[in-house]
Amino acid sequence: MPGQGPTAPTGSAQGTAAGLGRGGGPTAWAGGGFTPAVPAPAAEDGRSAPRELPPASRNFLAKAALVTAGLSVAGALLGLVRDQALARLFGAGSDTDAFLVAWTVPEFAATLLIEDGLAFALIPAFSMALARRAQGVPGDPVRALVAGTLPRLALAFVAVGALLAGIAPQVVEVLAPGLPDPALAVDCTRITATCVVSFGLAGYCSAALRAHRRYLAPAAIYVAYNIGIITGMLVLGGQWGVRAAAAGVAVGGCLMVVVQLPALLGQLRKKADSGARGEEEARPLDTALLATVLLFALCRQSQVLVERFLASSLPSGAISHLNYAQKVAQMPMILSVMVCTVTFPVVARALADGDVERAKGRVERDLALAASIVLLGTAAVVACAPQIIELLFQRGAFTTEDTAATAGVMRVYALGLLGQTLTGVLARSYFSAGRGAWYPVGAMATGIAVTSAAGALAVGPWGVYGIAAANAAGITVTALVLLAGMGPRSVPVHVPSVLRELAAPVLAAVAATLAGALVAARFDGGPPAGLAVGGLTVTGVFLAAGRALGAQGVVHALRFAGSVTRRLPYVRSR
């Protein structure tokens, strides 16, 4: 459900927050996010021009990353509580399978409208509008962009949501033709279709705020979303059954808009009162850009369609086991992609300003850090899978057999987490210039073809394990194709250097996985103790091996941790 290099070209690459920024300068907290504190420049006619965004400082990006990480972790933890409630109340059977088929709608909507789709188009568009405003263009390019895009997009969201509700039976038949209770899935699909509108508006707000370097409200959306779902299940579960979870999705989607709207209106109102003169014609989004980003996101989320289509013919519970395994395994990826969620507007603004070298250095550092984060998480997931699933889910209607099946699937699925993360970082690089790019669409389509073919061949002999393996293979192929195309088609990173940098954390993750699995399996203190001991072993071995091998993401993270530790009051007082 809804869910980022080794050498900088110029300046210091060893910024705080594991190389999240460059330069220095003060920062200030304002209106829903961090923004660098700078004086307003003078306009060409002598009036005070709107205050613009300077190059992001190291301290600003560090604070923005910490805020985003904190709220992302909170949202992920609430997501686990949500899945625990779903497992406890409804188990892993035909009812949850029916709901999870309907859950395909919010999953697709989140990818298309919040995470990988509209954000790829809107953040560069808003960055360009901000750059035009900084150049003294008459009128307000930002408000012109809103006027030219929001009404049309909102109308499209309403039309698509209504269409999905109307053709819900056909959607369920296509998604899961072997489902034993399609009527329940149809009811849930009609309820979750409302999220097309709410997610679309939430994604628009998120993109606009991030382009303005306001990260607090966008980072809080999944906290609000999961609160809505959990509340819906607990309040309505007794009367509505699993339909209560679908109702929670509808409520949670509305809350995602509510938490962001005041911050966005404040930004637009502030700029309206800033003294800008003249009018600029409303500017719609570039059609080629919008088409390519939506097709890319659609292809990426099609992996879920392939998985559920193949799993619908397996015994009841197969779709649920895949779902629970994915949700837990993806947590490291969520944290790693958070890096480029913060820095994507920085890359887009650098390219809007014509500073290719700054964009190149930013992307290379993002790749190094994101890979290190996700590989550490992958090692922990593979090493401690049984302990994690038993601790999180084995209660109520979720049995020991469900734990064993889910843990096994999660270990296989985790093998594709590095590919998932690299795809997220690299795709943002292709679209950061605000132009349509068909190469990433082709790369994603290639990965989907691999997933489909491999899954069709593997589901017979290996069941859900074959589906998970096909998913990992397909997304890894996509990441490799995207990496191979970097250069003239995207931000010109040095691919051989990136590949050499990735080798070090991969080796560290292999060593950490073996050590952690050995310790966790031999520890008899129960799931919590086994997870704690195994997790500490994985972390210690990964950090030690990564530092010894010179993994830049690990080195930067350790330096940042040391910097934060030295600033603690207790340490300073000694």
Convert the pLDDT of each residue in 83-114 to its tens digit. 888 888 887 777 888 888 888 888 888 878 88
Specify the pLDDT at position 395. 79
- The answer to whether residue 21 scores a pLDDT higher than 70 is no
Specify the pLDDT at position 62. 61
Per-residue pLDDT, averaged over 218-246, amounts to: 90
Q: Residue 572 has which token pair?
A: 């300073």
Specify the pLDDT at position 19. 32
Environment class of residue 480 by beta-carbon count within 10 Å: exposed (0-12), middle (13-18) or buried (19+)? middle
Specify the pLDDT at position 98. 85
Q: How far apart are CA 474 and CA 452, in angstroms?
A: 8
Specify the pLDDT at position 433. 64
| Lowest mean pLDDT across 122-126, 295-299, 452-456, 556-560 | 556-560
Specify the pLDDT at position 205. 92
Q: How confident is the model at residue 515 (pLDDT cuts 50, 70, 90)?
A: very high
Contact of 113 with 202, CB cutoff 8 Å: yes
DSSP 527-558: HHHHHHHHHHHHHHHHHHHHHHHT-HHHHHHH
Specify the pLDDT at position 571. 41
Instruction: Give how far Cα 193 sits from Cα of 162, 294, 300, 354, Å.
Output: 7, 18, 20, 41
Q: How far apart are CA 574 and CA 572, in angstroms?
A: 6
Per-residue pLDDT, averaged over 331-341, amounts to: 73
More confident residue, 94 or 565: 94
- The residue to which tokens 């849930």 are assigned: 188
pLDDT digits (tens, 9 = 90+) for 384-393: 999 999 888 8
More confident residue, 313 or 199: 199
pLDDT digits (tens, 9 = 90+) for 253-298: 999 999 999 988 888 776 544 444 445 555 566 677 777 877 887 8
Q: How far apart are CA 491 and CA 481, in angstroms?
A: 15
Per-residue pLDDT, averaged over 428-452, amounts to: 83
Specify the pLDDT at position 47. 40
Question: How long is the chain?
Answer: 574
Contact of 105 with 2, CB cutoff 8 Å: no
Per-residue pLDDT, averaged over 44-55, amounts to: 44
Specify the pLDDT at position 285. 64
More confident residue, 358 or 516: 516
| Lowest mean pLDDT across 158-172, 436-450, 547-561 | 547-561
More confident residue, 53 or 469: 469
- The answer to whether residue 355 scores a pLDDT higher than 80 is no
Rg (CA), the chain: 23
> DSSP character for 91?
-
Specify the pLDDT at position 282. 55
Specify the pLDDT at position 45. 41
The helix/strand/coil state of 35 is: strand
Specify the pLDDT at position 321. 84
Q: Residue 66 has which token pair?
A: 């910490």
Residue 440: half-sphere exposure toward Cβ, Cα within 13 Å: 34
Residues in contact with 304: Cβ distance below 8 Å, sequence separation at least 6, in sequence order: 104, 107, 108
More confident residue, 468 or 62: 468
Residues in contact with 160: Cβ distance below 8 Å, sequence separation at least 6, in sequence order: 196
Specify the pLDDT at position 59. 61
Specify the pLDDT at position 503. 92
Specify the pLDDT at position 120. 78
> DSSP character for 460?
H
Specify the pLDDT at position 216. 86
Torsion angle (degrees, nearest 10) of CA 257, 258, 259, 261: 80
Give the percent of the chain with pLDDT over 90. 29
Q: How confident is the model at residue 157 (pLDDT cuts 50, 70, 90)?
A: very high
Q: Residue 193 has which token pair?
A: 């279709």
